[in-house]
Amino acid sequence: MYKFLFPCEPFSKNKEVESSFVGEYNVCKTLGFDVYLFDYDILVEDNKFLSTMMDHTSGIFIYRGWMLKPEQYNILYDSITEKTNNKSKLINSYSEYRNLHCFPYVYDSIKNYTPKIMIINDYDKTSSYESFIDNIDFDFFIKDYVKSIKTDNGIEKISKNISYADLLNKVNNFINERGKLFTGGIVFKKFVNIKKIENKTNEWRLFVLNGELLCVLQNSYLDTEIKPPNDLIVTIINILKQYSNFFTVDFAQLEDDNWIVIETGDGQVSGISNESDYVKLYNNI
């Protein structure tokens, strides 16, 4: 049986689970899983691992908590194996975490099922954007390897005809707004028209464990049973299962009723929109 690791409430010295994860934590304990806590803030700020885990603790752990940059996740992974003398480890290695958490690493494998992207890794060099301006042939929005920034009106659609100066300004604003959370490089992702029902997009999140579908969860607070087609789900899982042991895939319905992959994620740091789905996920695990 898997064991679970949650972040603790700041300054609680690993005595209380972080308030945002109380629901999941309680479901885990009720179902009989072994549950441990660690200090997330000390890990990301000081690269130190303070946890209720003991040196004799053994098993495969699933972390459920806030996002970590790949290098931070690597510290968590190594800290667990070192503290337990290799008796315990996280379900995903550093590369397995990075692969699905940072979308560009799996983009080429699923590019026929997702909007086109263009990547700028040397994002701090203004010359990197000259060829982009010359070659971009689609309207887009800006994100890093992990996330975009939503405004009150949703994601900002940027014209393919944007000027060089305006593009640099928007990129700099994006990097500043992401701050310490900025991950990887700059990604320009094709803007597509997602269908809205009751003024909400129809999005679903799949959790996949060891190549097996755990559950398909409504991810946009919409009351509908219109889901992505099973054959598409199976195709995407079969492609991505080679890259990670525990991951998520987000699907969205387009205005023409076709479905696309809009994002992937590591299953340990992907959220669950509806608290009523906690039991569904953990029961299936």
CATH number for the domain that contains residue 164: 3.30.1490
Could you tell me if 103 and 128 lie in one domain? no
Contact partners, residue 34, CB within 8 Å, separation at least 6: 1, 3, 4, 59
Asked whether residue 220 falls in the same domain as residue 105, the answer is yes
Residues 210 and 174 in one domain: no
Asked which of 190, 216, 250 is the last residue of a domain, the reply is 190
pLDDT at 151 over 80: no
pTM of the predicted structure, to 2 decimals: 0.95
Note the pLDDT tens digit of each residue in 184-242: 999 999 999 999 988 899 999 999 999 999 999 999 988 888 999 999 999 999 999 99
13-50 pLDDT tens trace:
899 999 999 999 999 999 999 999 999 999 999 999 99
**Domain CATH number, residue 247:** 3.30.470
243 and 103 housed in the same domain:
yes
Banded pLDDT at 109 (limits 50, 70, 90):
very high
Q: Which domain holds residue 11?
A: 3-90
C-alpha 151, offset from chain centre: 19
The reply to whether 173 and 228 lie within a common domain is: no
CA 205 distance to own-chain centroid: 11
Cα separations in angstroms, 29 against 23, 215, 261, 269 = 10, 20, 33, 19
* Residues 205, 130 share a domain: no
Instruction: Please indicate, yes or no, whether residues 21 and 161 belong to a single structural domain of this protein.
Output: no
Strand partners, 190: 140
User: By three-state DSSP, how is residue 202 classified?
Assistant: coil
Q: How many domains does the chain have?
A: 3
- Are 127 and 241 members of one domain? no
Rounded to whole angstroms, the Cα distance separating 90 from 33 reads: 15
Are 207 and 162 found together in one domain?
Answer: no
